[in-house]
Amino acid sequence: RFADAMLVGLAQVGALVPGVSRSGSTLTAALALGFKRDEAARLSFLLGLPAIALAGLKELWELYKIHLDPHAWSVLFVGLAVASFSAFVAIWGLMRLLERFSSWSFVVYRFGLGLVILAGAMSGWL
């Protein structure tokens, strides 16, 4: 299934289009290739780790180059720790949901939210 994993990884390119979710594009590709829901989600999250880690390291390098003061570094790392823990809990919860239920509820939610946003934008509310 190496070829399938490579195709799912290639689906990440879809996230370069504004408004396209990286995890959504990889989940969709994996499901289309016949992965089970929990396998597709696990692969999607694992594929995101290198991209997210490298983007974070690039930003840290930029902050290092502008000589960020020590207090700002400590605030940054506390925020990083809290965000990492929150992300772990959210991913863990999502994995439990995907093991038990279909992802159609997410599709319906996103479609409904999209309609609300479009209606709000067209009416001048947003």
How far is 87 from 91, CA to CA, in rounded Å? 6
- Percent of the chain residues topping a pLDDT of 70: 100
Whole-prediction pTM = 0.68
**Domain count across the chain:** 1
The pLDDT value given to residue 62: 96
At which residue do the structure tokens 């089970």 appear? Answer: 36
Q: Tell me the residue range of the domain where 83 lies.
A: 2-123
How far is 27 from 39, CA to CA, in rounded Å? 9
pLDDT per residue as tens digits for the range 10-34: 898 888 888 888 888 998 899 999 9
pLDDT per residue as tens digits for the range 72-102: 999 999 999 999 999 999 989 988 887 888 7
> Encoding tokens for residue 88?
């772990």
Give every CB contact of residue 125 below 8 A, 6+ residues apart in sequence: 119
Counting beta carbons within 10 angstroms of the beta carbon of residue 8, is it exposed (0 to 12), middle (13 to 18) or buried (19 or more)? buried
